[in-house]
């Protein structure tokens, strides 16, 4: 049996990080480090995942802890699903300490984020969406945009995205799709995305099941002709967070292989994970 990959799942006790932890705990391929970097607002000292106590490390403590963690748990991969406001600061921390990482958190200054990794010699998988199937769908739309530019010239676009009330930012997936639609001839800006966070609207108007109001991602892209006689609609409705956990752990396996092949300063995407290439 292969040696398990040490992973440090940061962002606990957040919902996505918790889901990933539960998935990882059921697989022999991973060994969860019993520590997690968390936000300054977290007052709890630990959380428990499948009977494993995990100590929570706030930002003011992480510099003094990281040396010990690197010595005790060599060669671990960090998984980051913390708050969007912490994206750049966290990436700088990982790169300063040469900690390869998988980041699925949206938000932050994205160009600076990528530059930080490349200039540090660190390696990472960074993506606004870790669900492989959604990423594949995005790739299909990108293919259409590249090969059929102007296809929908004269049409209008509306984008609605619904997520749990606690999601602070606009969906990174919805934002990522805009470029492809622009290339196909439809002018549209991120500010025009309809962002729904009200549980009553989600349940009553959209039909989100009540059990998933606290964890879902429903997206609808509607393309319509000026005369309203032609309409195209693309949807991806995700209930729960399991699909993101599965993709994240696949990204960890991919990044581990790339590090073994020596890929310093490389930023990989989920497309790279899907294709299993350097990109």
pLDDT at 181 over 90: yes
Catalytically annotated residue among 132, 163, 216, 266: 163
Q: Which residues of 86-123 are buried (b: 16+ CB within 10 A; e: fewer)?
A: bbbebbebbbebebbbbbbbbbbeeeebeebbbebebb
72 or 262: whose pLDDT is higher? 72
Cα distances from 266 to residues 42, 43, 110, 196, 270, in angstroms, run 32, 35, 15, 35, 13
Q: Structural domains in the chain?
A: 5-126+242-275 (3.40.50.720), 132-239 (3.30.360.10)
pTM, entire model:
0.84
Which of left, alpha, beta for 185 (phi over 0: left; psi -120 to 50: alpha)? left
% of the chain beyond a pLDDT of 90: 83
Tens of pLDDT, residues 92-137: 999 999 999 999 987 789 899 999 999 999 999 999 889 999 999 9
Is the CB of residue 216 less than 8 Å from the CB of residue 172? no
User: Over the stretch 66-85, which tens digit does the pLDDT of each residue have?
Assistant: 999 999 998 899 999 878 88
216 is an active site residue: no
- Please tell me the distance from the alpha carbon of residue 207 to that of residue 223, in angstroms, as a whole number: 21
User: Can you give the pLDDT at residue 166?
Assistant: 85
What pLDDT shows up at residue 255?
96
Query: Does the annotation mark 167 as catalytic?
Result: yes
Q: pLDDT band for 27, please (50, 70, 90 cuts).
A: very high
| Predicted pLDDT of residue 66 | 95
Residue 73: per-residue pLDDT = 93
User: What rounded mean pLDDT belongs to the chain?
Assistant: 93
Residue 1 has pLDDT above 70, yes or no: no
Looking at the predicted structure, is the pLDDT value of residue 36 above 60? Answer: yes
First to last CA, the chain: 29
**Residue 258, helix vs strand vs coil:** helix
Helices 110-120 & 87-96 angle (0-180, nearest 10): 0
pLDDT the model gives residue 187: 97
Which of 71, 83, 97, 167 does the annotation list as catalytic? 167
């Amino acid at each position: 049996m292969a040696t398990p990959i040490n992973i440090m799942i940061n962002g606990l006790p957040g919902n996505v990080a918790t889901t990933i932890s539960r998935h990882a705990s059921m697989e022999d391929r991973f060994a969860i480090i019993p520590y997690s970097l968390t936000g300054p607002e977290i007052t709890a000292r630990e959380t428990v995942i499948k009977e494993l106590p995990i100590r929570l490390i706030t930002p003011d403590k992480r510099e003094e802890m990281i040396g010990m963690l690197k010595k005790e748990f060599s060669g671990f991969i960090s998984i980051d699903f913390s708050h969007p406001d912490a994206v750049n600061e966290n990436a700088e921390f990982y790169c300063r300490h040469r900690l390869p990482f998988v980041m699925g958190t949206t938000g932050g200054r994205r160009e600076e984020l990528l530059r930080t990794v490349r200039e540090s010699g660190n390696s990472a998988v960074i993506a606004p969406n870790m669900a492989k199937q959604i990423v594949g769908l995005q790739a299909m739309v990108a293919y259409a945009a590249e090969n059929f530019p102007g296809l929908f010239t004269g049409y209008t676009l509306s984008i609605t995205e619904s997520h749990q009330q606690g999601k602070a930012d606009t969906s990174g997936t919805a934002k990522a799709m805009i470029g492809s639609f622009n290339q196909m001839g439809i002018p549209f800006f991120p500010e025009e995305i309809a962002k729904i966070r009200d549980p009553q609207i989600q349940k009553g108007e959209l039909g989100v099941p009540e059990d998933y109001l606290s964890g879902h991602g429903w997206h609808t892209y509607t393309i319509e002709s000026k005369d309203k006689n032609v309409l195209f609609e693309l949807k991806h409705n995700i209930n729960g967070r399991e699909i993101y956990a599965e993709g994240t752990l696949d990204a960890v396996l991919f990044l581990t292989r790339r590090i073994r092949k020596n890929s310093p300063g490389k930023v990989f995407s989920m497309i790279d994970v899907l294709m299993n290439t350097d990109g």
